[in-house]
Structure formats: structure tokens, C-alpha cells
Chain A
Amino acid sequence: MNHLVIAPIIIPLLVGALLMLIDERRRALKATLGVVSASVLLALAVLLLYLTDHTATGADATVRVYRLGDWPSLFGIVLVLDRLSAMMLVLTGILGLSALVFALARWQRAGAHFHSLFQFQMMGLNGAFLTGDLFNLFVFFEIMLAASYGLALHGSGLARVRAGLHYIAINLAASLLFLIGVSMIYGVSGTLNMAELAVRIAAVAPEDRGLLEAGAAILGVAFLIKAGMWPLGFWLPNTYTTVGAPSAAIISILSKVGIYAIIRIWLLVFGDSAGTSAGFGGHWLLIGGVLTIAFGSIAVLATQNLARLAGASVLVSSGTLLAAIGAGQAAVTGGALFYMTSSVLAIAGLFLLIELVERGRMVGADVLAVTREAFGEGEDEESDDDDAIGVSIPAIMAILGIAFMACALLLAGLPPLSGFLAKFAILAPMLAQGAEGLPFTTWALMVALILSGLATVVAMSRTGIDVFWASPAGDLPRVRLVELAPVMMLLALCVALTVQAGPVMRYMEDTARSLHGPERYVQGVMTTAAPGTGKGVAP
């Protein structure tokens, strides 16, 4: 039973390796294996989530520690499953399955080894969410990035290679920063285990503390580049715009891996028990987050292209999360986790949806639409449009339009969908402590959150009107059921999040509380130090 924790890493590794051996022409077999693996991963993630949450009343059951090779946990590498990891695994599973099913229709044929790359991508993501060791986190980051390079370039073409060149160069530089940060932290504290680091940080000598904090800051920069915080995120919209739809949907969670790493390490290491380093860098997260929201909102308003719009909303969601985490209150973090779930699903859905919508459109129709608006040429068309009243919108466009509207509501945070609940859950605890005495940054965050919602509404309704109502009629997009189903599934999950908001929010609040008081995480890792004390007894 205990070995379940490593299964989310082993399964995609084995399936991915196996898929490389199978000939590209046996596409049905490869696709079946890939989908089976993705479904098993999702089922497993849900099971792990259930186990983690269900046994929460037990003493140390919320944190499952898996010792790789059964080495004592401070000597070997540990995998740690807690509520946050379990939640991220489920999100990865959902995105993986829906993106893969979507890719079955067309994208798997666009280049070689799509399915292997996809499995390795899942493996890297799952590993990054599970590991409890800083250097192991680096290794899984690299696996995940290497696979994402492949997926980003999948389908080739001039634009993709051009954007991919920047994407890879930036991420290679970020990986080097990651290494510098990790080795500085190791040089000062003498450990790479996150839990042990959290214990040791209070005892670090004052003259070494500056070095440790510098190391942590450099590490933080590496994560923030992934998360796309302003001014480190200029690469993000460009890359996400050019990659193929299923790749974009799965790669969109990569920015959340940066956020996850910050939540995990910052709250664990620089929590209240960190002595004089407690809360180190929180203001940077908050201010950087607000600036990212501002930049993302301007980018959302300025785009003339659907895919860029989605890329810019990734920035807005990253900024919201960073700022909410930087606020440093357990209740706000709970809301942020809910927001993350909702926005990850909505953005992935939007990336998939955009590809379907774009299919039937003229090339450059976006730019034309905006130009027409700017020069007021739209007015002239009104007169000869009289006979067009009552023309029915084709069913497929209606379905896509409704899905687009749902995405807009989710991303802008308007009722009745989960985006609204998420923003409310972030804002309410901030106001709960009374309007007086609120620091300026908190006000700035609230204003930025609300204005970013407004910007998203304006931009998405403008684009939506152009695409679905006002555009020069192109061919109807040919959409297959396997492509529509994943989009619908993602949106249905958002609806489910709305309906079941009570239990979900309870889970998020528990997660946030254990993140802000990580004693149990630390204990869980430290007490399994001796071999043979855990459930996985060595033979």
C-alpha cells in the first residue's frame, strides 16, 4: 500500500520508455497505452487524495513519506505526499488525460514520439510535486522541462522553433540559477532535505544567514521565472501562444509548478519557526504578484489574438497566486489554492477551446476585427445586414460559444462559476480583519484583483463578440467528439467545483493550515529517519 506513493512517477516512466520502442505506425496501440496510462494516473491521484484526506484524523496519516531505496530519510531521498501534493497530482492527472484525449484527433500525428514525451512530461510533473528533497526537485524540474521542450516544439514550424529557442535558453539559464541557489543553501545548512532544512534554519549562525537568504532568493528567482512573475515572465505569452493546443494545455501547469515550489519551500522553510528569517521575501512576492497582475491585465487588454489572450491570463493567474501567497495568511492561502484549481482547469480548457474555434477562421481575422473597430468601418455594414436578422448560429458554434463564455466567467471571476468563489475566498479573509489598519499592499492587491477581473471581462467579451458574432464568416470548424469532450470535461469539473464548493473549500483550508503550520510535515519526514520504522520494511 505504501508503494502507491511512487507509482505516479514509475508508471509514466515505464509506459513512456515502452512507447519509444513501439513503431510510430502502430498509432492505435500507442494511443491506447498512453490513454490507459493517463487514466490510471488520474485514478491513482484521486485515490491518493482520498487516502490523504480520509485518514486525516489519524496521528501522522496526513503525511506519507516514501523512502527511496529504503535509505534513512536524512541520508536518502524521500518522496512526501501531503494534501498539497495530492491536490497537485489530481490536477496534473486531469490535465494530462484531457490534453491527451484531445491530441488523439490530430496532434499525435504532427510529429514523432508525441506519446513518449507526454508520459515523461507527466512523470516530471508528478515527481516535482512529490519530492521532499531540493536537489531531487531540480532533477524532476529538468525531466519536466526536457519533455516540455519536446512538446513545445511538437509539430515544428517557424514560429514554434523561434519561440522555442527563447523558451529553452531562458529555462536553461533558470536551471543554472536553481543549481546556484541549491548549492548555496547546502553550503550553509549542510542539508538538501526540505524538512531538515526547516529545522536547521533557526540555528544558522547570524554571519551565515545572509548567505542562506541569498541562496534562497536565487532559488526563488528560478521558480519565479517558471511562474512568470513580472519582470521575469516576458517569455511566457509568446511560448504559450505558439505551441500546439494539447501541449499548451499541459504546459500551462508548468507555471503552477513554480508556484507550487514557492508555496512548499517558502512556507516550510521561512515559516514562523525560522527565527529571524521568518517571512523572508514575503513582501517581494506580494508586490511582484500585484505588478504581475497589472502587467497581465494590460497584456489581456492589448491582445488581438485568442491564443495570446490565454497566455496573458496565465500571467494574471500567476500574479494573483503569488500575491495571495505573499500575503502570508492561512485563510488567504486557502482561497489561493481554490483559485489555482479553478484557474488551472479554466486556462487548460481555454487553450483547447481556442484551437477548435480558430480552425474555422480566416487567417488574420483577429487583427482585421480590431482594425475595423478602430476605424469605425463596422457601422457601414449594419445597413445591408437587415436580412441577416434571425439567421441561426450553427449548433457547433453555439456550443463553442457557450464554452468560451464559461471560460470567460471563470477567468474573470464573475458569478455563478467557481472563479467568483475563488476570488471571494481570497478577498474575504483580507477584509475580515477590519478595514482600518490594512497595509497599503493589501489594498493594492484587492484593487488589482478586481481590476484584473474587469480587464478580463472587457477583453474576453470583445474577442468573443468578434469571434462568434461579428467575424467574417469562414468555414465552420470541423470538431470531433474526442476534441470537444475534454473541453467539456474541464468545464464540467469547474461547475462541479462550484456546486461542491463547501467540501472543496474545507480541503483547501485544511491544506493551507498545514502549510502554515508545517510541524506535521517536518515530523513525518524526520521520524522516518531510521530504516525499518516505516511501513516499507527492507527485506
Chain B
Amino acid sequence: MELILALGIGVLTGSGVWLLLRPRTFQVIIGLSLLSYAVNLFIFSTGGLRTGAAPVLERGMAGSLASHADPVPQALVLTAIVISFATTALFLVLLLAARGLTGTDHVDGKEKSR
């Protein structure tokens, strides 16, 4: 499971960074989205990967991370998802405004002169 998750995060990050460095605004925003997925998975994995762990303490058990899943990364990832969603939406609006004002979808607002 670790290998699959690590590969998933790696592929998402790699594609995200590559797209982020591309000249079209649409590629940039998709790159940012992919990167934020990668980061969310990464945060999620810092709590340790386990299957079948209880989400909350069971009755009568002593509280220890060995007996239940770490809730903090889950809370963090939830916050991170909401924030990155909101900022991506804001970026999308700006992207459309830039397209309307400059007439091109190049990130610099003008095509590179050849």
C-alpha cells in the first residue's frame, strides 16, 4: 500500500509541477489542482497508513495511537481541501478576467514574440 500511495503522490506532484511551469493559464490551474491533490494525500499519509483501525476510541480502551487512527491529519486534510478549493476557484475567476482583458491565455498576458 505504501508503494502505491507513494507512487500516486509522486506522479501527481510530477505532473503538477510540469503543468505549473507551462505557459497557458489553463495548464497552470490544472497543475495547481494536481499539486494540491498530491499534498492532500501526503498530509493524509503522515498519520501512518493502516487498514482496519478504529476511527474513534472504542469503549473501555486506553487512548493510544496504536488502537485508533490519528485524527489530526484527517482534520488537517479537510481544512486543506476546503482552502485549496476556494483559492483555486478564485484563481479561475482571475484567469477568466485575464483572458478577457488580454485576449490571450498566456500567463504573461502576451504571446512570446517569435
Interface residue ranges, A against B (CB under 8 Å): 135, 139, 142, 145-146, 149, 153, 156, 158, 161-162, 164-166, 168-169, 172-173, 175-176, 179-180, 182-184, 186-187, 192
Given A172-B91, A176-B39, A184:B97 Cβ within 8 A = no
Given contacts A172-B32, A173-B35, contact A165 B46 (CB under 8 A): no
B72 interface neighbour in A145, A164, A192, Cβ under 8 Å: A192
> Given contacts A165-B25, A169-B32, A173-B20, is CB(A183)–CB(B83) below 8 Å?
no
CA distance A175 to B88 in the complex (A): 12
Binding site for A on B (CB under 8 A): 20, 25, 28, 32, 35-36, 39, 42-43, 46-47, 72-73, 76, 79-80, 83-84, 86-88, 90-91, 94-95, 97-98, 101-102, 107-109
Whether A183 touches B32, Cβ cut-off 8 Å, given contacts A135-B79, A146-B87, A161-B97, is no
Are B90 and A146 touching (Cβ within 8 A)?
Answer: yes
CB distance A176 to B35 under 8 Å? yes
- Collect the chain A residues with CB atoms within 8 Å of residue B109's CB: 158, 161-162, 165
Interface contact A139-B107, CB-CB below 8 Å: no
B76 pairs with A135, CB closer than 8 A:
yes
A173 cross-chain contacts in B, Cβ below 8 A: 20, 32, 35
Cα A162 to Cα B90 with chains together (Å): 15
Closest-by-CB residue of B relative to A158 is B101
Tell which of A142, A162, A168, A179 has the most Cβ of chain B within 10 Å: A179
Q: How far apart are the CA atoms of A165 and B108 in the complex, in Å?
A: 8
Interface pair A183/B79, CB less than 8 Å apart? no
Among B43, B86, B88, max chain A CB count under 10 A is at B43
Minimum C-beta distance from B58 to chain A (A) = 20
Contacts of B36 in A (CB 8 A): 176
Q: Is B86 touching A146 in the complex (CB atoms < 8 A)?
A: yes
Q: Report the minimum CB–CB distance from A394 to chain B (whole Å).
A: 37
Do residues B32 and A161 form an inter-chain contact, with CB atoms below 8 A? no
What are some 30 contacts across the A-B interface (CB < 8 A)?
A: A139-B83, A142-B87, A146-B87, A158-B102, A158-B109, A161-B101, A161-B109, A162-B102, A162-B108, A164-B94, A165-B25, A165-B94, A165-B95, A165-B107, A168-B87, A168-B90, A169-B20, A172-B84, A175-B83, A175-B84, A175-B87, A176-B32, A179-B43, A179-B80, A182-B76, A183-B39, A183-B43, A186-B46, A186-B76, A187-B46
A165-B98 CB under 8 A given contacts A135-B79, A183-B42, A183-B43? yes
Report yes or no: B73 in contact with A183, Cβ–Cβ below 8 A.
yes
Nearest CB on A from B10, distance (A): 13
Q: Which residues of B contact A184 (CB under 8 A)?
A: 46
Q: Which residues of B contact A135 (CB under 8 A)?
A: 76, 79
Instruction: Report whether B46 and A183 are in contact in the complex, using a CB–CB cutoff of 8 Å.
Output: yes
* B46 CB to nearest chain A CB (Å): 3
Residue of A nearest to B95 (CB): A165
Closest to B83 in A: A142
Q: Which residues of A contact B76 (CB under 8 A)?
A: 135, 182-183, 186
Most central of A135, A146, A183 by chain B CB within 10 Å? A183
* Alpha-carbon distance A162/B101, docked complex (angstroms): 9
Question: CB distance A186 to B73 under 8 Å?
Answer: yes
Chain B residues in 8 Å Cβ range of A186: 46, 72-73, 76
Extra contacts besides A161-B102, A169-B20, A175-B87 (16): CB < 8 Å: A139-B79, A139-B83, A146-B90, A161-B101, A165-B94, A165-B98, A165-B109, A172-B84, A173-B35, A176-B32, A176-B84, A179-B42, A180-B39, A180-B42, A183-B42, A187-B47
Check if B94 sits within 8 Å of A161, measured CB to CB.
Answer: yes
Shortest C-beta distance, A132 to chain B (Å), equals 16
Closest 5 CB pairs of A and B: A187-B46, A162-B109, A183-B43, A183-B46, A142-B83
Query: Which single residue of chain B is at the shortest CB-CB distance from A179?
Result: B39
B28 / chain A contacts, CB cutoff of 8 Å:
169
A234, chain B: closest CB distance, angstroms: 13
A453 to B100, CA, bound (A): 43
A153 touches B94 (CB 8 A): yes
CA of A169 to CA of B87, assembled, Å: 10
Contacts of B32 in A (CB 8 A): 169, 172-173, 176
Q: Which residues of B contact A146 (CB under 8 A)?
A: 86-87, 90
Q: Give Cα A135 to B98, complex, Å.
A: 32
Question: What separation, in Å, do the CA atoms of A325 and B39 have in the docked complex?
Answer: 30
User: B100 CB to closest chain A CB, in angstroms?
Assistant: 9
Give the docked Cα–Cα distance between A153 and B83 (Å): 20
B residues less than 8 Å from A165 (CB atoms): 25, 94-95, 98, 107, 109
B contact residues around A142 at 8 Å (CB): 83, 87
User: When chains A and B are docked, how far (Å) is the Cα of A189 from the Cα of B109?
Assistant: 44
Task: Kindly state the separation between the CA atoms of A162 and B98 in the bound complex, as whole angstroms.
Answer: 7
List chain B residues, Cβ under 8 A from A153: 94
Cβ–Cβ < 8 Å partners of B98 in chain A: 161-162, 165
Bound-complex Cα distance A184 to B94 (A): 32
